[in-house]
Every structure is written in structure tokens, then in C-alpha cells.
């Protein structure tokens, strides 16, 4: 048994993952790269016919040479509307291919269709975020190898450094031409940014674009050029538009969420980063969106403009850019129709890859330029460690997303979350799973006020000095935990077995924690 720097017991060897000794989490910035980047097979295409059309998905799988035991990669830019993962796995099953490792950026509830193929052995291993039904299956021991969870930045790092070698990448392409140029910006399945797919296109041995919108050569704009793409498969539908993008994002009217958002926005306004040129990432959740709305008021009141907004982009950010309150958007994932329209038409709305967004092992990811990030959590503990992966019952239900990367990169990392969800407290003595270490978390905001990490005395002073009329209630972490305990009572323990169901990697590839299988 080993112990990571956040005091978690981790087996020295994890069956189906490997030796942990030597890659135990030692600190947020402890592990640094050496040596050279890994690389894919070199290939060429024929000089007189650049067409890569191969027919449908099944033909493409055969042409790509997919065999049992290989690693296939997928991306979640079509989110809950994606048909590509299910389609490819089903076709592999029909072709008699088994024992696949799938390497998705994330799987959602829509992908529960692959559960029968997990049970029948077509898929034997998952390295990637699992949400919902598949997460529960994994927690209950439904997969023989542990799931490996990586952040949005940790995943391209693993590819580039050679931790993961991709045999074939299947990229959902809302628009493509016969030479394999790809864009996410047009077509019935338009999703905006396809930033999660970039690194896989560059590093996979074979790259297959799957499209329901074949256009004449060359398409424009091009996100991923055909120089990386081997094959183009055409299918009726790569996704359900209703699940790909949401409608107009509206700011919540839920008073508790608004209260939390108000305190978070005041904390940002009181911080030293609230000045012309500020940058932030707030995402699409109820509280973060409301923080953005309050921040917008404060920016107008204090005549401040932001240099850029980062990450998953919503129509709300787009509107702020139109109003001149944000100058640039750096978009790894476009959440709604407004964001999709904007990235396709406004040069200040920049499509970035997950590598560019968040990888700790390149020459500078965008997160390192970030001032403020608002994040969520299922649990936070007395050491400010954050769990976003497991739910109250101990089941793995959420991926890491950009949580680790933005928390590590930003100057001010705020976790904004109600103190309780029903009777379940969000602030606890010890989180069930450490996703992000307290070392990179600066403040927690709940309906009871702002809880500043004690190492950030500067923030505490800034809050105390803030205008009386815009009061920021400060509450220490132990008081917050005590309050939660008094309200909810003491939780009964989660019963787990010793078997590791999932490994949580820190963004640098070290093992920060493991998620153990639940006892029946």
C-alpha cells in the first residue's frame, strides 16, 4: 500500500492498470516531463486520388484495420446527442471484434446502449469519463479492468507522452469533405468547437472521420485538416441535434443558487484580479452562469472589460463579447446554439484544442493565463480537497472535466456549491474521492458565505475591506463543516471492497486516488 500526497491509501500495484510506485501523486506541480513526444505511424496517400470515402461505418472499421484488443478513441463534442460511439461499438460487435479498450473523452447516459457490449466482452476496458449508468455499472464491478479517469488536460498529456497509444480514432464530423477536412461549425449536427478531437487526430495510427454532412472539397472553415485523417465514412446521422446543443441558456431564478452566485461574484469583485483585462471561466451550470450575470453588472458598474473567457462557452459569454465586456472567447466546447453560431462567424471566438486548453505538459496551456474559475463539487473537505467523481453513495457518476486543470492554472479557484444537497452535506471531514487537491483551491462559496483557504490571507483581507453595502460573510472551514454536521447529522460510512474500480489520475499522470468497488 502506498500513500499519495493527499493522504490516500493506494495499492502499489493495481490489476489492469499497473504499478503505482513511481507515479504516486506528490504535489500539484511536482511531476515534470522529460524525453520526447510519442508519435503515430507515418502514412501517405495516393498522388492522383485524394478521396478517402470508404462507405459506411462498418466499411471504415474494416478499412482502418481495427482488430480485437485495440484502443479506439472517441470525443464528446456531440454530448448527450452522440450516435457515433454506440454505432462504432455495435459495428465492431457485428464484425466479431472483442476485447476493445475504448478511450473516450467522456461517455454520457446516451451511451448506456454499449452496456450489453461491455457484458459480452466487446468492450473490456474504458479509459475516460463515465457518467450515469455506465459509471454505476463500473462502481458495482461490471468492468474487469479499472476505468482510468483523466482531466481534459491530462488526457492529451497521456497521448502525447505515450502513456496511451491510440490504434484508431473515430471523430464525429458535423461537416467533412472527401479529403477528410473536418469542421464542427456547420450541418444539422453542428456542435461548434471540436477541440477534444485535435490531439487524437494528430497521434492516432488511423483516423476515421464519420460524417452525416459530406460537402464538396474543400470545406471552409477547417478545424482538423485532412492531413491527419485517413478515412471518411458517411452515415445518416451522427447525432441528435436536441442532445447536442441546448437552447437559450437562462440565468436561474432559484434563490439559493442566486445567493451563492452573489457571494461568489462579490468575492471576485473584492479580489485583486478584478481589473481591466480580467479573464475567467464559469461554464454552463446554474450557479456559474448566475455568477457571470452578477459579474457582468459589476463590470459595467466599475467600467471593466475582460480579456478572455475560457472553456465551455455559452450564449451568455457570446452576448458579453457582443456588448464589448469580453474581448475574446477561447472555446474548447460550445454549449448552446448561440455559441455555435458565434464560433462560426466571429474571429474573436477562437476554437482551441484540449491540449491547448489544459495540458500541463506543453509549452503553455490557456488555463495558465486564467485569473478566475468557478467550479462545482460533490464534496469538499477540511483540507479543501474536492471530489467531483463520486456521489454520496460512493458510486462513480462524473468525470473530471477541466476541474483539475483550471483549478491548477487559475489565480483564483472558487468552488461554488450549496452546503447541502437534500440531507447530504457537501462539506465533510474527508472526501470519498480526491479529484482536485486543496493545494489548488482558494475558496468555497456556499449559501452561508465565503470560506477562504487559510493560505490565502490576502483574499480574507480583501473580503473584510469590501464595501459594507456589498457585505461578504466569511465563515471558516471548520465552522462550515460543523454547521453541515449539525444540520444533517453524521453520515454512515460507504461500504466498499478492496478492488479498485477506477483510478483517478492527476493531470500530470500521477495517481491521486482510487475509487473502490461498492459492496452489494
Partner 1 sequence: MRRTMLYLPGSNPNMLLRGHLFEPDGLVIDLEDSVSAGEKDSARVLVREVLRRGEFGACEVTVRINSTDTEYWRKDVEVVVSCGVSGLRVPKVESPQTVKDMDEEISRAEEKSGIPRGSTKLFCLLESALGVWNAYDIAKSSPRVTAIIPGGEDLAADLRTSRSKEGAELEWIRRMIIVAARAAGVDALDTVFPYVNDDEGLERETGFVKQLGYDGKSVVHPNQIAVVHSVFDPTERETAAAKRIVDAASDAEARGLGAVSLDGRMIDAPVIRRARFTLMRAGLLSDGQRG
Partner 2 sequence: MTMLDSRTAQAGTLESMDCLVTVTGPADGRVIEISGSSAPRFKISMERRVNDVLDSLGCDSGVRVAVQDNGALDIVLGARVEAAFVRYREGDVR
Is 496 a binding residue for partner 2 by CB under 8 A? The answer is: no
Minimum CB separation from partner 2 for residue 500, in Å? 21
Q: Could you tell me which of 412, 435, 419 has the C-alpha nearest to residue 479?
A: 419
Cα four-point dihedral sign 149, 155, 159, 163: negative
423 binds, among partner 2, partner 1, none (CB under 5 to 8 A by kind): partner 2
Minimum CB separation from partner 2 for residue 90, in Å? 34
Exposure pattern of 36-49 as b/e (b: 16+ CB <10 Å)?
A: eeeebeeeeeeeee
Q: Which stretch binds partner 2 (CB under 8 A): 186-194, 448-456, 459-467, 489-497?
A: 489-497
Is 186 a binding residue for partner 2 by CB under 8 A? The answer is: no
Backbone angles phi, psi at 437, to 5 degrees: -75, 150
Q: CB-wise, 186 or 256, nearer to partner 1? A: 256
What does 43-94 look like in DSSP terms, one character per residue? ----SS----B--SHHHHHHHTT--TT-EEEE--TTGGGB-HHHHHHHHHHH
Backbone angles phi, psi at 18, to 5 degrees: 125, -165
Is 344 a binding residue for partner 1 by CB under 8 A? The answer is: no
Backbone angles phi, psi at 488, to 5 degrees: -95, -25
Dist. CA 84–CA 78, nearest whole Å: 9
Minimum CB separation from partner 2 for residue 422, in Å? 2
Q: Which residues have a Cβ under 8 Å from the Cβ of 511 and sit 6 or more positions away?
A: 4, 10, 20, 23, 24, 25, 503, 504, 505
Dist. CA 414–CA 17, nearest whole Å: 32
Q: CB-wise, 130 or 481, nearer to partner 1? A: 481
Q: Is 170 exposed, middle or buried (0-12, 13-18, 19+ CB in 10 A)?
A: buried
393 binds, among partner 1, partner 2, none (CB under 5 to 8 A by kind): partner 2
Q: Could you tell me which of 515, 511, 516 has the C-alpha nearest to residue 5?
A: 511
Indicate which single residue of 411, 488, 496, 499 sits in contact with partner 2 (rule: CB under 8 A).
488
30 binds, among partner 1, partner 2, none (CB under 5 to 8 A by kind): none
Indicate which single residue of 1, 363, 468, 490 sits in contact with partner 1 (rule: CB under 8 A).
468
Is 393 a binding residue for partner 2 by CB under 8 A? The answer is: yes
222 binds, among partner 2, partner 1, none (CB under 5 to 8 A by kind): none
Q: Could you tell me which of 301, 288, 198, 284 has the C-alpha nearest to residue 248?
A: 284
Is 490 a binding residue for partner 2 by CB under 8 A? The answer is: yes
What is the grid cell recorded at 221?
Answer: 472553415
Minimum CB separation from partner 1 for residue 471, in Å? 9
Is 447 a binding residue for partner 2 by CB under 8 A? The answer is: no
Is 301 a binding residue for partner 1 by CB under 8 A? The answer is: no
130 binds, among partner 1, partner 2, none (CB under 5 to 8 A by kind): none
Minimum CB separation from partner 1 for residue 481, in Å? 16
Q: Provide the β-strand partners of residue 427.
A: 380
Report how far Cα 508 is from the mean position of its chain's Cα atoms.
15
Is 415 a binding residue for partner 2 by CB under 8 A? The answer is: no
Indicate which single residue of 10, 85, 127, 259 sits in contact with partner 1 (rule: CB under 8 A).
259
Q: Provide the β-strand partners of residue 219.
A: none
Q: Which stretch binds partner 2 (CB under 8 A): 116-124, 193-201, 390-398, 444-452?
A: 390-398
Q: Which residues have a Cβ under 8 Å from the Cβ of 180 and sit 6 or more positions away?
A: 52, 207, 209, 226, 228, 229, 230, 231, 232
Is 479 a binding residue for partner 1 by CB under 8 A? The answer is: no
For 119, which DSSP code?
Answer: H
What is the grid cell recorded at 239?
Answer: 447525432
Is 447 a binding residue for partner 1 by CB under 8 A? The answer is: yes
Show the CA angle centred on residue 407, arms to residues 403 and 409, nearest 5°.
120
Minimum CB separation from partner 2 for residue 10, in Å? 24
Site for partner 1 in 225-254 (CB under 8 A): 253
Show the CA angle centred on residue 353, arms to residues 371 and 17, nearest 5°.
100
Is 252 a binding residue for partner 2 by CB under 8 A? The answer is: no
Minimum CB separation from partner 2 for residue 446, in Å? 16
Minimum CB separation from partner 2 for residue 237, in Å? 36
Is 290 a binding residue for partner 1 by CB under 8 A? The answer is: no
Q: CB-wise, 53 or 424, nearer to partner 2? A: 424
469 binds, among partner 2, partner 1, none (CB under 5 to 8 A by kind): partner 1
Q: CB-wise, 176 or 259, nearer to partner 1? A: 259
For 214, which DSSP code?
Answer: B
Is 469 a binding residue for partner 1 by CB under 8 A? The answer is: yes
Q: What does the binding site for partner 2 look like in residue numbers (CB under 8 A)?
A: 392-394, 420-424, 487-492, 494
Q: What does the binding site for partner 1 look like in residue numbers (CB under 8 A)?
A: 253, 255-256, 258-259, 447-448, 468-469
Amino acid at each position: 500500500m502506498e500513500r499519495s500526497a493527499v493522504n490516500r491509501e493506494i495499492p502499489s500495484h493495481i490489476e489492469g492498470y499497473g504499478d503505482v510506485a513511481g507515479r504516486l501523486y506528490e504535489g500539484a506541480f511536482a511531476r515534470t516531463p522529460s524525453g520526447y513526444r510519442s508519435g503515430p505511424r507515418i502514412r501517405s496517400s495516393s498522388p492522383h486520388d485524394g478521396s478517402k470515402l470508404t462507405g459506411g461505418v462498418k466499411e471504415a472499421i474494416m478499412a482502418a484495420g481495427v482488430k480485437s484488443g485495440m484502443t479506439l478513441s472517441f470525443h464528446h463534442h456531440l454530448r448527450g446527442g452522440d450516435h457515433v460511439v454506440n454505432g462504432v461499438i455495435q459495428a465492431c460487435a457485428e464484425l466479431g471484434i472483442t476485447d476493445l479498450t475504448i478511450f473516450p473523452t467522456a461517455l454520457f447516459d446516451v451511451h448506456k446502449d454499449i452496456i450489453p457490449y461491455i457484458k459480452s466482452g466487446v468492450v473490456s476496458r474504458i479509459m475516460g469519463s463515465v457518467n450515469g449508468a455506465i459509471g454505476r455499472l463500473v462502481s458495482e464491478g461490471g468492468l474487469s479492468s479499472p476505468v482510468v479517469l483523466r482531466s481534459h488536460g491530462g488526457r492529451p498529456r497521456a497521448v502525447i507522452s505515450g502513456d496511451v497509444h491510440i490504434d484508431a480514432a473515430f471523430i464525429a464530423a458535423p461537416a467533412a469533405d472527401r479529403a477528410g477536412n473536418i469542421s464542427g461549425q456547420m450541418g444539422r449536427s453542428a456542435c461548434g468547437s471540436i477541440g477534444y478531437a485535435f490531439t487524437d487526430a494528430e497521434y492516432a495510427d488511423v483516423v476515421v472521420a464519420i460524417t452525416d454532412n459530406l460537402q464538396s472539397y474543400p470545406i471552409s472553415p477547417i478545424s482538423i485538416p485532412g492531413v491527419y485523417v485517413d478515412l471518411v465514412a458517411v452515415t445518416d446521422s451522427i447525432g441528435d441535434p436536441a442532445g447536442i446543443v441546448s437552447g437559450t441558456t437562462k440565468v436561474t431564478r432559484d434563490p439559493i443558487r442566486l445567493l451563492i452566485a452573489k457571494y461568489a461574484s462579490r468575492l471576485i469583485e473584492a479580489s485583486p484580479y478584478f481589473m481591466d483585462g480580467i479573464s475567467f471561466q464559469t461554464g454552463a451550470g446554474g450557479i456559474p452562469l448566475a455568477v457571470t450575470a452578477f459579474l457582468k453588472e459589476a463590470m459595467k458598474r466599475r467600467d471593466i472589460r475582460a480579456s478572455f473567457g475560457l472553456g465551455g462557452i455559452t450564449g451568455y459569454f457570446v452576448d458579453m463579447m457582443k456588448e464589448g465586456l469580453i474581448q475574446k472567447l477561447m472555446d474548447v466546447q460550445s454549449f448552446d446554439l448561440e455559441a455555435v453560431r458565434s464560433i462560426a462567424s466571429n474571429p474573436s471566438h477562437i476554437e482551441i484544442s484540449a491540449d491547448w486548453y489544459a495540458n500541463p505538459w506543453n509549452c503553455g496551456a490557456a488555463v495558465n493565463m486564467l485569473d478566475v474559475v468557478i467550479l462545482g463539487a460533490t464534496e469538499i473537505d477540511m483540507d479543501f480537497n474536492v471530489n467531483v467523481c463520486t456521489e454520496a453513495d460512493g458510486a462513480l457518476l462524473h468525470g473530471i472535466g477541466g476541474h483539475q486543470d483550471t483549478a491548477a492554472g487559475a489565480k483564483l479557484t472558487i468552488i461554488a456549491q450549496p452546503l447541502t444537497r437534500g440531507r447530504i452535506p457537501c462539506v465533510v471531514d474527508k472526501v470519498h474521492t480526491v479529484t482536485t487537491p486543496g493545494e489548488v483551491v482558494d475558496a468555497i462559496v456556499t449559501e452561508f458565505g465565503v470560506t477562504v483557504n487559510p493560505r490565502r490571507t490576502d483574499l480574507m483581507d480583501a473580503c473584510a475591506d469590501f464595501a459594507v453595502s456589498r457585505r461578504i460573510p466569511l465563515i471558516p472551514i471548520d465552522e462550515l463543516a460543523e454547521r453541515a454536521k449539525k444540520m444533517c447529522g453524521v453520515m454512515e460510512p460507504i461500504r466498499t471492497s478492496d478492488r479498485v474500480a477506477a483510478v483517478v489520475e492527476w493531470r500530470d499522470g500521477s495517481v491521486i486516488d482510487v475509487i473502490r468497488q461498492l459492496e452489494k
